[in-house]
Amino acid sequence: MYFNGIYHLFYQYNPKGAVWGNIVWAHSVSKDLINWEALEPAIFPSKPFDQFGCWSGSATILPGNKPIILYTGIVDANNTQVQNFAVPANLSDPYLRHWLKPDTNPLIVADVSVNKTAFRDPTTAWLAPDGHWRITIGGRRKRRGMSFLYRSRDFFRWTKAKHPLHSTAGTGNWECPDFFPVSTAGKNGLDTSVLGPNVKHVFKVSLDLTRYEYYTIGTYDLERDRYVPDKGMIDGWNGLRFDYGNFYASKSFFDPKKNRRILWGWANESDSTEQDVVKGWAGVQLIPRTVVLDPSGKQLVQWPVEELESLRGKSMEMSNVELEQGAKVEVEEITAAQADVEVTFSFGSLDKAEAFDERWDRYDAEKICREKKSTVQGGLGPFGLATLASLHLEEFTPVFFRVFKDKDKHLLLMCSDASMSSIQEDKTGMVDGKDAYKPSFGGFVNVDFKDMKISLRTLIDNSVVESFAAGGKTVITSRVYPVTALYENAHLYAFNNGSESVQIESLSAWSMDKPKHMNEGLK
């Protein structure tokens, strides 16, 4: 949340180790979303209504400029989940270091129609024209994903609506639901309570079964108090995703400082729990992103917050570089292990686009990326960036494109492939990659090819590669663990392994500085 000039990030954290359990709400603050200061935990198990854990929730700013947190508490060893609230102990403290959990908790207890072991993650509340606050809480009824709706006039006495805000059959448990308005008339974000003309709504869930997130765009029917996805939206496992890679449990919030909606997601580790213990930490927050409705109205567009550019350091540029089949060009003069890269590729013809195999599932981009890797020659593509690469490409994480011809249209596939990201060795010196999950992530990009250009922005940060295609229409995050392509030994290449020549129309790359302690960074 943003409150009195300070951004507050609350996150699930185990202060006693890099493993799941003993969960508290850690708390960090910032004035610019880049330079942060970690404070003591804001909420931790201490009362009967959260003695077995303080799980996810959301913040809402009440009238009178008063923040309140709703969160899920675990009350017993049977994993019974209830919804609690916490308020700042001292509103005059600019950092809101201490929070109170009144004994009037829990606010909401599951009734007999609700699975009380799958009842969690309340959203930011919105205020409707009838004067009632509303929240939605994730859960399931057998295999049907549920978004339970609750209403309150005073924020402290909540009543469950007869019908859910939304539900979908066969999707399993819904976690971390998010429900927010987006403007159809501009790029400004909207406060969570905004309704009316020129407004659509976004509904997002994190699916426990797939560990991916899915969203739809639709209409909030106030009369029925239900969310209805637009016609043509896929409401389930084949639907739109914020990120087609390692990205989960995201939350968005409205930032009144710059009138924008900011989305923030979490990437877990891809190596073993044992390695997490050795590292001493597990899980990272990704770069915060602005999120707006695409002019088509059919998807969202994401982009790293503009403040990230304050970390840009030494830079290099290149333009009009021809990449023939098999060519690779090194992006030099920057720190390739921590970089921000923006590149536009162009090509003269779609004639060599590969035929889209009818056996492929149009929605299983990951499978196609596994089969059609960056080293597999194609027609128009694969071309892109080889990130976190060793000198001779024993290790690298490519982010690349392929163009396919499917009946009467062309398809653009984007891949971020971790399968060659690390060469792990055991004590005998033998290659052993079994400890790490090294997937080939993929997603299709909705472009029309009119200008024969494709843009890509990639943020590289030692073990994280976040990539934004076509101005943020499709985003993929990979979590990787190079062994040799570390620090000054990391390289960055642009490459083309397609038979159609591709041109680097323009490329700009920057070394990225490290963030500072909040106060140090803002003196």
Confidence of residue 425 (pLDDT cuts 50, 70, 90): low
Tell me the CATH number of domain 2-304, given options 1.10.10.10, 1.20.140.10, 2.40.50.100, 2.115.10.20: 2.115.10.20
Which helix (H) or strand (E) element contains residue 520? Answer: helix 518-521
Confidence of residue 429 (pLDDT cuts 50, 70, 90): very low
Sign of CA dihedral 204, 205, 207, 208: positive
pLDDT at 116: 97
The DSSP letter of residue 307 is G
Q: Using one digit for the tens of pLDDT, what is the confidence trace for 247-304?
A: 999 999 999 999 999 999 999 998 888 989 998 999 999 999 999 999 999 999 999 9
CATH of domain 313-512: 2.60.120.560
pLDDT at 522: 42
Which is more confidently placed, 313 or 426? 313
The answer, yes or no, to whether residue 523 has pLDDT greater than 60, is: no
The answer, yes or no, to whether residue 41 has pLDDT greater than 80, is: yes
The answer, yes or no, to whether residue 375 has pLDDT greater than 50, is: yes
Domain parsing of the chain, residue ranges:
2-304, 313-512
pLDDT at 433: 44
Phi, psi for residue 169 in degrees, rounded to 5 = -70, 145
Query: Minimum mean pLDDT among 150-159, 366-375, 484-493, 511-520: which range?
Result: 511-520
Confidence of residue 435 (pLDDT cuts 50, 70, 90): low
| pTM given for the model | 0.96
pLDDT at 427: 43
**Token pair in block for residue 433:** 């990659």
**Mean pLDDT, to the nearest integer, of 60-70?**
97
**Do the beta carbons of residue 244 and residue 478 sit within 8 Å?**
no
For 472-515, give the DSSP string. TTEEEEEE---SSS-GGG-EEEEEE-BSS-EEEEEEEEEEEPPP
The answer, yes or no, to whether residue 498 has pLDDT greater than 50, is: yes
The answer, yes or no, to whether residue 430 has pLDDT greater than 60, is: no
Mean pLDDT, all residues of the chain = 95
Confidence of residue 49 (pLDDT cuts 50, 70, 90): very high
Number of C-beta neighbours around residue 215 at 10 A:
22
**Mean pLDDT, to the nearest integer, of 313-338?**
98
CA distances from 22 to 55, 83, 89, 221 (A): 10, 18, 23, 40
Question: Whose structure tokens read 């990787």?
Answer: 480
**Mean pLDDT, to the nearest integer, of 99-128?**
97
pLDDT at 80: 98
Percent of the chain beyond pLDDT 70?
Answer: 97
Torsion of CA 376, 381, 387, 390, to 10 degrees: 40
Alpha-carbon gap, residue 475 to 456, rounded angstroms:
10
